[in-house]
Chains A and B, each alone.
Chain A
């Protein structure tokens, strides 16, 4: 068990809707990162938050946004859902942002967009 939890486990939405996914980090971890895993691929970096500030973003459009809260929780929002947004969304927490800081992953939220 990594101590990182995500909710909900599964979610079905329709195209054009908005979705919020939630993540609870390990206590004491200052960093949360979000990844998208499409079928048959490795996880792809979406964005990272360090001490409640965005600390980098992958190749995802602005309709993907996120927040990190002081209580080690985080949420990831997507507006105007598209069919291609169907994927497993993983969050991971780490102590800091250096290259050797291990990221501890949650079990993911499976999003299906119809």
Chain B
């Protein structure tokens, strides 16, 4: 069975500092992987996705994530945090060939950005 674990329910960084949000997955074969962001009082928005092309995936708003098969990880990073990055971030995993029906979301990590 697949699962996804986000380490840290809350992460706090200073404006301009590196953002690192951790995600580890469990799957018998490399799945599709996603990061979503949820701003206050809004639905989730896709940040980026890994579908087996390049292992380093670039997304919107300067975020990127690297798929590391040996570590079963898909951590999200951004070199320099902005105040507008404060939101909740969800990692998700979906088995290949299922069209997303079996997508599993992590518990989420809330990012705080200090001025």
The answer on A and B forming one complex is no
Interface residues of B (CB under 8 A from A): none
